[in-house]
Amino acid sequence: MKSAFRLTIVAAAFSCTMATPLRAQTSDTAQELAQMRAQLEALAQRITQLEGELDQAKTKITEQETAVAAIPAAAKPDTTVAWKGAPEISGKGGWSFKPRGRLQFDAGVIDAPDSTGREDGFGKEIRRARLGVEGDIPGGFGYKFEVDFAGNEVELTDGILTYDDDGLTLTVGQHNNFQGLEELTSSRFISMMERAAFTDAFGFERRLGVSAQYGAGQFLLQSGVFSDNVDDTDSKNWSLDGRAVFMPKMGKTQLHFGGSVHYTDLESGSSVRYRQRPFFHFTSERFIDTGSLGAVSELGFGAEAAAVFGRFHAAAEAYWQNANRRGALADPGFFGGYAEVGYFLTKGDTRGYKNGTFDRVKPKKEVGEGGIGAVQLNLRYDHLDLSDAGIVGGLQDALGAALIWTPTDYTRLMLNYAHIAYDDAIRATATGERDYSVDAVGVRAQVDF
């Protein structure tokens, strides 16, 4: 490269020489050639000097780049902070710590037939007010601890220690026992203000236990042994629970198919009771109720299916709950299920899905960033039958609609309406009628982190 540069200079000088009128006939020709030769030699020396200076500059730059590259490694902080709705602090060796929580404020109106004598009208509550922490511990371990302050009480919701290794997760503590798609979906991400009627009626709740979960590609297996809720530690009830999920993706469509089985052994002298509110939690009224039933065990089966395609989603679940009563009494079997569809009115938004449950909705264009957030419309049919084997607990059919506005990833506003039709309701009207309907409207303001 250097030689080529020199040849270019010499060629340019030679061209200038050839362009000079020939003076071979004059006595000055030899003198002019000598002067040009001296100039070329001086130019060559200057080129050599410049090349040396260039090499020195390159060496200094390389040394400086090496020194700068070494600075971050030597001065790297022991901790880093990321933002995921709240600060997530990560340290050396695999430690991490993140505060977590949610606030949900509900209000609404229940309109029941006046002659039933039941309280209706306006209701309100802090549905959930949770605070907690979660994080990682070196060696593949993790932790999560969260309490709920709603209702002027302090209750432990999740309190677990986990271990992860290549798709296998072992969990010890109070956590959900794999009842189904909607029950395992966080209340932050459900499509209605409340989950399907059967999830509450059949007593789904977190329990103390040990469980294992294994995920490999499109398959997820979950199973565990559980006792009772942490508030009932003196209980001798125990259960075996399992769930399997197949979640293939076909093109841009996320599919979900699952099933679960649950066996609960009840301590001697136990009873069960299945009942449900009219769609919302802020009322304590129940219009269907089996009353207390003496039982020695419960056996439940669940089936679930869902699909997410762009703005559209659909989901359905069915659950069969069987109570094994004492003695020669007939064993009743009760049933609940729902089917729903949803659609985002805002372009580019979709319902989140992750690891066998629905996940956070992340608006394509958040409020404050040039957009209006995500707007979603959901429609649902919800069925619950609590009558069988001589037990007349009543039947409830509900048609529900939800309009959800998600301004940002961590805020949500919901408007729900439900029309609930009852057969064999436990509350009769003044004329003895037990088949009637109830209307309900509710709103929710939510923030989580």
Tell me, what's the pLDDT at 5?
43
The string of pLDDT tens digits covering residues 96-111 is: 999 999 999 999 999 9
Tell me, what's the pLDDT at 16?
44
pLDDT along the chain (449 residues), means of 10: 46 44 54 76 77 76 66 66 92 94 98 83 96 97 98 94 97 97 98 98 97 97 97 92 98 98 97 97 95 98 98 98 96 98 98 98 96 98 98 98 98 98 95 96 98
Q: Are strands 87-91 and 411-423 parallel, antiparallel or unpaired?
A: unpaired
Tell me, what's the pLDDT at 19?
44
Average pLDDT, the chain: 90
The distance between the two most distant Cα atoms of the chain, rounded to a whole number of Å, is 141
Tell me, what's the pLDDT at 39?
76
